[in-house]
Structure 1
Amino acid sequence: MSSAEEAGARPEGPGAVRGDRPRRPWIALVLLGVPVLVALLGPWLAGDPASEQGALPSRPPGAGHPLGTDVLGRDVLWLVLHGGASVLGSALGALLIGMAAGVPLGLLAAGPRRGLDETVMRGLDLLLAFPGLLVLMTLAATGHRDGYWLVTVAGVLQVPAVARLVRGAALAPGTRSVVEALRMQGRGWAYIHLRHLARQLAAPLATDAGGRFSVVLYLLASANFLGLGLPVSSPDWAVLIERNSDALFTQPAAVLVPAGLLTALCVGGNLLVDRVVARRRGR
């Protein structure tokens, strides 16, 4: 087949699709956008919770309570609209802690000192060996059950993986050659790390952050579901699932709605990252 025939066989134009992959990730945007909007705008849309007073527990949806009430007689819709902020805030906080500690450690390990590299990476290997949920359960058993402890430890548990990613990207042959050339030119540490390496690491870090957000979200949700983090009165979506699990068949909305929002947040985030990565590869 000639090159002209090959060009004619390829669909072109604004509606063309590369392979079997759609150009616009609408499904991922919808799945991710709905829980994010609920978390950000929910507290302003929830209104006054005064109507919850005197409500019967575990009542199905009805007048005055579109999603029914939970086991404590609270309006489920009001709880759902207020519960997303803690989910997003804690997950993003833990992710930022992991990035803030993992990136400098990865760059430190990728430096010219072999002994420092071994010390940093072997120390992180010890932390990597501990199961995350087991660490959180041990922390709760010692009396450290506050939310900030949960977020901090969840963030620290992400440090080894982030540091390994940064170290591997910084030690890639192409990147390493450019770094050595810059050193021979007399460039300082700040120029090499804050200008050159920052640009080289931006793409892999952004990709990893999208997937790692789901990992952190799953870890925090599991901890809250087991009662290791936020108090049982919190409107957090994971706490709502755990608190109302016994009333699943009598009041399913109190469990299925927050569970659906958590699932959409995880799936939507992963799908969006996959679409972005696939699109970059297709260019």
Structure 2
Amino acid sequence: MTAPEKAGCARTGRRRRPWIALVLLGVPVLIALLGPWAASAAPSAEGALPSQPPGAGHPLGTDVLGRDVLWLVLHGGASVLGSALGALLVGMAAGIPLGLLAAGPRRAFDGTVMRGLDLLLAFPGLLVLMTLAATGHREWYWLVTVAGILQIPAVARLVRGAALAPGSRTVVEALWMQGHGWAYIHLRHLARELAAPLATDAGGRFAVVLYLLASANFLGLGLPASSPDWAVLIERNSDALFTQPAAVLVPAGLLTALCVGGNLLVDRALARRRRGR
């Protein structure tokens, strides 16, 4: 293959990547958003034999409780997407101000904030969720809140590191000397500097949060066993993987597509931003 042909293939590959990312991310997101509405045309969720393969009346078969898998998949995405986004927002909403506080001019705050966050970072996520479940706090909002709190140390460290970078500190010190206030420096200058690393981290952290929440639900620490959540479906039907694989592979594939598609889309957006600069 000649050099121009290779270059053409590379350009074609770059053009296709956004569509791959959009499809991977768009399918589970659309199912999560529009699934409950579309489920009105799906078969009834109950009344069939358990672990039946796909067939007439049940396009994806039934699960171990005799519920229609298609109906469950259409209803299970909302809890997955909502919980992961909620936990991510909790982590970033608390982590960004703490990181900026640690990177501020008062160095005493740096040690106090970061040592406190190091203590939180030492707790294993699943162990915390197991303790939460053992105390009877199994409601979804407890799960989302605790999963979000566990992300605060990593987000704060990222923000602090970006704000303390040599280039950022030079400009910040110059702005302080010019008499600009905290809001101007942090909400206008540093916000632009932090946008790219935060966007990159958000894509990867969404996958981390999704993995943590899915693991909790898979281990029975989160949502009840009757929930149509995709992770719960995988756990409930794992024993029937070889007799009714659709009940496991379909929700597992949607979870994978959600993580991979989100990361690819963020990477593509950042690459375009760098080329624009």
Greater gyration radius = 1
1:75 to 51, 55, 68: 68
Q: Match for 1:54: what amino acid?
A: G
Cα contact 2:99–2:157 (8 A) shared by 1: yes
Match of 2:162 in 1: 169
Cα distance change of structure 1 residues 80 and 17 upon mapping to structure 2, 3 Å threshold: same
> Matched residues in 2 for 1:51 and 1:118: separation?
58
Q: Per the alignment, in what secondary structure is the counterpart of residue 47 of structure 1?
A: helix
Cα contact 1:147–1:229 (8 A) shared by 2: yes
2:193 to 185, 193, 200: 200
User: Does 1:139 find its partner at 2:132?
Assistant: yes
Bigger mean CA deviation after superposition, 223-232 or 197-206: 197-206
Match of 1:33 in 2: 26
1:181 to 164, 174, 190: 174
2:120 to 103, 127, 130: 127
TM-score, normalised relative to structure 1: 0.90
Cα contact 1:211–1:273 (8 A) shared by 2: no
Q: Match for 1:264: what amino acid?
A: A
> Matched residues in 2 for 1:23 and 1:282: separation?
15
Q: How many residues align?
A: 273
Cα contact 2:196–2:270 (8 A) shared by 1: no
Pairwise mapping of residues 76-155 of structure 1 onto structure 2 (< 5 A)?
A: 76-155=69-148
Could you tell me how far 1:53 is from its partner in structure 2?
4.0
Q: Per the alignment, in what secondary structure is the counterpart of residue 51 of structure 1?
A: coil
Cα contact 2:21–2:261 (8 A) shared by 1: yes
Q: Match for 1:67: what amino acid?
A: L
Q: Per the alignment, in what secondary structure is the counterpart of residue 40 of structure 2?
A: coil
Q: Match for 1:116: what amino acid?
A: F
Pairwise mapping of residues 234-249 of structure 1 onto structure 2 (< 5 A)?
A: 234-249=227-242
> Matched residues in 1 for 2:43 and 2:59: separation?
15
Could you tell me how far 1:67 is from its partner in structure 2?
0.7
Cα distance change of structure 1 residues 164 and 252 upon mapping to structure 2, 3 Å threshold: same
Bigger mean CA deviation after superposition, 262-271 or 49-58: 49-58
Bigger mean CA deviation after superposition, 47-56 or 63-72: 47-56
Could you tell me how far 1:273 is from its partner in structure 2?
2.9
Cα distance change of structure 1 residues 52 and 180 upon mapping to structure 2, 3 Å threshold: closer
Match of 2:212 in 1: 219
Could you tell me how far 1:124 is from its partner in structure 2?
0.5
Bigger mean CA deviation after superposition, 239-248 or 25-34: 25-34
Bigger mean CA deviation after superposition, 208-217 or 267-276: 267-276
TM-score, normalised relative to structure 2: 0.92
1:22 to 11, 14, 34: 14
Could you tell me how far 1:57 is from its partner in structure 2?
1.5
Listed as ranges, the gaps of 5+ residues in structure 2 are none
Cα distance change of structure 1 residues 82 and 52 upon mapping to structure 2, 3 Å threshold: closer
Q: Match for 1:190: what amino acid?
A: A
Q: Per the alignment, in what secondary structure is the counterpart of residue 223 of structure 2?
A: coil
Could you tell me how far 1:27 is from its partner in structure 2?
2.1
- Aligned-residue CA RMSD (Å): 2.2
1:228 to 214, 218, 221: 221
Listed as ranges, the gaps of 5+ residues in structure 1 are 1-8
Cα distance change of structure 1 residues 226 and 30 upon mapping to structure 2, 3 Å threshold: same
Could you tell me how far 1:50 is from its partner in structure 2?
6.9
